[in-house]
Structure 1
Amino acid sequence: MKTFISLLLFSIISFSLAQESPDPVRDIDGNLLRSGTEYYILPVFRGMGGGLTLAPTRNQSCPLDVVQESLEVDNGLPLKFTPVDPKKGVIRESTDLNIVFSAFSICIQSNVWMLEEYEGQLIVSGHGMSGNPGQETLSNWFKIEKYEDDYKLVFCPAVCDFCRPVCGDIGVTITENGRRRLAISDEPFKVVFKKA
């Protein structure tokens, strides 16, 4: 019996060690994206707007939502990525992470990305909560996934074992006032990362 249990434990440990980690995400210079380091998220196609920032999109001054700058020469605001395991230093593809702008805003909000419903659309706003993975923070976790030769942002958190979140690619939608707001979309926003 002891031999069977030892063999079973050895098999489980061996299987766990054999599983490869997801590929690391790289910036436009080929360097690894690191937790706690500031980056800009930029569109691959520079003729269609600039980097990401916070702006009002709801016919009121607060809260601020995540939008794309209208001018391609504008990098937007720097931001940081924090993986679900904050001890991990490298950001990896298809793993849950918080995204937070490194800036002050006119609104009293955290600048942590979160997905929320507004007028029938699932949009990305900047008043989420960092850390504490689980059911209460489900809307605050995003992923970076490889998309063709670049990357895309995805909402499909795995921080809650029994939750069944809506999953989808993050794309750009145009609001009534002409803002390029991030939201769940059929067309992914193809991006690269540049160290700030």
Structure 2
Amino acid sequence: MFSTISLSMGQPSPTQVRDLDGKLVRSGTKYYILPVIRGMGGGVTLASTRNESCPLDVVHANQEVDNGMPLTFTPVNPKKGVIRESTDLNITFLGALTCIQSNVWMLVEYDGHLITTSHGVAGSPSQETINNCFKIEKYEDGYKLVFCPKVCELCRPICQNVGVVIAKNGSRHLAINEVPFKIIFKKA
């Protein structure tokens, strides 16, 4: 009688994230973030929302026909080519912006909420860049974004869902919220 013994001593790798077509979501590949429920608006994009033209914030487009802006996911550990659930990553919009700012997502406080904006710093996980790290987690029949970075051992960040918060001016910010924004990924 033979037995099989596992030689790997580490934890199993987290589950790989899949796109709308069931293919693996990969680092550096262009995707759109779309709501799972059709008829609930379009994709994720950038817009000026603070009664001034800059900075640009991450918002949920009002029109269903608007796929939003293409973006990429980059694990904090750049050696990994496949995006996995519950691992720290940077999210970066692609394309030229009208504002002089980075395309990397980050959290900032605005109008009593922690909203997602796009002037973060990619990579270099540290206490100074902790607001730039997000995670993708399985959520019902789709996924959700979560802010709960593990890149800083000494930091004690909040661990919350990223949902849609409607601002006083009607903007649909992606922001820290109890109710997650249920999403899927579509290759651009």
Q: Displacement, 1:15?
A: 2.4
Match among 60, 69, 78 for residue 86 of structure 1: 78
Match of 2:156 in 1: 164
Match among 100, 112, 117 for residue 120 of structure 1: 112
Q: Displacement, 1:107?
A: 0.5
Q: Displacement, 1:86?
A: 0.6
SS of residue matched to 2:51: coil
Matched, 1:61 2:42: no
Matched, 1:98 2:90: yes
Greater share of helix residues, 1 or 2?
1
RMSD of aligned alpha carbons = 1.0
Distance 2:24 2:83 in 1: 7
Distance 2:8 2:25 in 1: 29
Q: How many residues align?
A: 182
1:14-163 aligned within 5 A: 14-16=8-10, 19-163=11-155
Distance 2:100 2:168 in 1: 24
CA-to-aligned-CA distance 1:4-52 (integer Å, 9 cap, x gap):
xxxxxxxxx8422xx2100000001000000000000000112111001
Give the percent of matched residue pairs that are identical in Structure 1 and Structure 2. 68
Amino acid at match of 2:157: P
Runs (5+) with no aligned partner, structure 1 = 1-12
Give 1 or 2 for the bigger CA radius of gyration: 1
Match of 1:5 in 2: none
SS of residue matched to 2:128: helix
SS of residue matched to 1:163: coil
TM-score (norm 2): 0.95
Amino acid at match of 2:60: Q
Amino acid at match of 2:112: G
